[in-house]
Amino acid sequence: MIVLERLDLAAGVSRLKRLRERWDHFSDLPLVDRLGGAIQVLVGIIVPAANRHYDVREPEPAVKGPVGIRTPFGWTVVSHVPHADGCLDSARTYFVGNSHCCSVPNEETILKRQLEKFWHIESYGTEMTKRKRDTEENVAGALLRATTRFDGGRYEVGLIWKSPQLPLLDNRKAALWRFFANERCVIKNPVIAKSYENFMENLLALRQARKLNPSELKGPAGRTWYLSHHAVVYGKRPHKVRVIFDASARYRGVSLNDCLMKGPDFLVDLPGLLLKFRRRMVPLSADIESMCHQVCVPESERSVLRFFWRRPGSDEPPTVHEMCVHVFGVSSSPSSCMYALRRAAEDRKALYPLAARKISKNMYVYNLLDSVDTVEEAKALHQEVTALLNASGFRLRKWASSSRELLRNTSE
C-alpha cells in the first residue's frame, strides 16, 4: 500500500440514471448519479479480491453498448459508454455505490478526437459553386467591353449606367451648401486642413482632376452632378488624410450611385488565393498604387464627377472641378477598374504570359498574392508583372516577401 498526502484526481459527474433509462439490461440495477467528490483510494488489478465478478449484465449480442459488472464494491459500468462529444470510449468505467468514477481514454480514442478536431478546423462546411451571372451583370459586362480603350498611357473605362434615360437633377446648390459645411469643420484643425489641401492639389498636379473654365460650367442636361467630399483621418494621424467623394448623397431622393450598376464580380476566391500564398517556399505580395485613379473616365461622362474646391479658409469663391479618373465611392468604380486590369493582362499576355496569368488568378482587388519555389522564380515574376503593369498605366508598390534577396531587387 502506498500512502500519499493527497490524490490530485477528480471523480467528475456520472449520469448513471440515464443508462438505466436507456438500456433494458440495466432497468433493475441500483444505478445512481455521482455528483463528484474527492477520490481517496485507488485499487489496482493486483488485488484479485477487489476485482471479482459476481454478476454480469450485457446487451444483446448484436448491440454495441455498456456492460454491467457486480464487484465487491457494487455495480460497475464498463465498455462502450457514450462520451459527451458523442464518441464511444472503451476505457470508461463507472463504479456505483460508495465508490467513484474513473475515466481513462485510450490512445486510439485520443487520436480520433484530434483528427476530428483537425477536420473541423480545415473544413469550411460548404461546397464551391460557380455563381451564375444575372441579366444586370451581363448588361454591365457588355458596357465595359464597349467603353474600354487604351489611350497609349492608361486605360479608359466608362461608367456603368443602369439606363441611358436616367436624368440627374441639378444638385449644384445642395453640393455647394455641403461644401461650406465641410469646410467649416476642416479649418478647425490646421493640420487636417493642410493635409486636405495637399490631397486635392496632388489630384490636380497628377491630372486626375482638373479645374473647369467658365465656358464649360454648363454641363449636359440630365448628366451633370456635383459630388460632395469629406476627410477621413487615419487613426490618430491628422497629417494622413484621405478625401472621400460621397456618390451616395441624395438630392430629391436620387443619388449618383442610384443610377449606376455595381457591375460584374471579378473577385477571385479569397480562401483559395490565401492557400496559394502559403503553398510554396517564397511568398510575395504587392499592391497597386491608387488603383481607381489609374483608370480614366471618358470625357463625355466626367460631368457627373464634378466637385467644388478652394484652399481651406480662402476668401476666394469655390471653383468647379471634375474628376478625370474613377472615384473611390462610386458604385461602379471597383468593377470598372478590375475590368481594366484584366483587360491589360489579356492585351499583353503574348508578351508577358506569366504575368498575365498571375494578374488574372492571383489579384484580389488591387493586391497581388503568390508564392514560388525559388528566389529566382520570384525575381522573374516580379520583373514580368512590373513590366506588364507599367506598360498599362499601373504601378505596383509595397512589395513584401520572406526573401531579403528579392526585396533588395524591388524599388520599394
Give the integer Cα–Cα distance in Å for 288 and 345: 14
Give the integer Cα–Cα distance in Å for 329 and 309: 18
Give the integer Cα–Cα distance in Å for 74 and 54: 10
Which of 117-121, 327-331, 340-344 shows the lowest mean pLDDT across its residues?
117-121
Give the integer Cα–Cα distance in Å for 271 and 67: 48
Which of 71-75, 293-297, 308-312 shows the lowest mean pLDDT across its residues?
71-75
Q: What is the mean pLDDT of the chain?
A: 83
* pLDDT, greater one: 88 or 75: 75
Predicted local distance difference test score (pLDDT) of residue 304: 96
pLDDT at 31 over 60: yes
pLDDT tens digits, 204-257: 999 999 999 999 998 888 899 999 999 988 777 767 788 999 999 999 999 999
Which of 60-64, 106-110, 266-270 shows the lowest mean pLDDT across its residues?
106-110
Q: Which residue has the cell 502506498?
A: 2
Predicted local distance difference test score (pLDDT) of residue 128: 56
Predicted local distance difference test score (pLDDT) of residue 50: 79
What's the rounded mean pLDDT across residues 264-278?
86
Dihedral sign, Cα of residue 157, residue 262, residue 243, residue 398 = negative
* pLDDT, greater one: 87 or 61: 61
pLDDT tens digits, 81-122: 555 444 444 444 444 444 444 444 556 677 777 777 766 665
Tell me whether residue 330 is exposed, middle or buried, using C-beta atoms within 10 angstroms of its C-beta: 0 to 12, 13 to 18, 19 or more: buried
Which of 108-117, 180-189, 248-257, 284-293 shows the lowest mean pLDDT across its residues?
108-117
Domains of the chain: 16-120 (no CATH), 135-408 (3.10.10.10)
* pLDDT, greater one: 371 or 28: 371
pLDDT at 365 over 70: yes
What's the rounded mean pLDDT across residues 145-157?
94
Predicted local distance difference test score (pLDDT) of residue 91: 45
What's the rounded mean pLDDT across residues 59-76?
81
| CA nearest to 233, candidates 293, 188, 287 | 188
| CA nearest to 372, candidates 363, 381, 362 | 381
Dihedral sign, Cα of residue 299, residue 301, residue 305, residue 309 = positive
What's the rounded mean pLDDT across residues 191-214?
94
* pLDDT, greater one: 133 or 359: 359
Give the integer Cα–Cα distance in Å for 138 and 112: 49
What's the rounded mean pLDDT across residues 335-351?
95
Where helices occur in 321-368 by DSSP H, the ranges are 333-347, 353-361
Which of 131-145, 150-164, 178-192 shows the lowest mean pLDDT across its residues?
131-145
Q: What percent of the chain has pLDDT over 90?
A: 49
**DSSP string across 135-177:** HHHHHHHHHHHHH-EE-SSSEE----BS-TT-PPP--HHHHHH
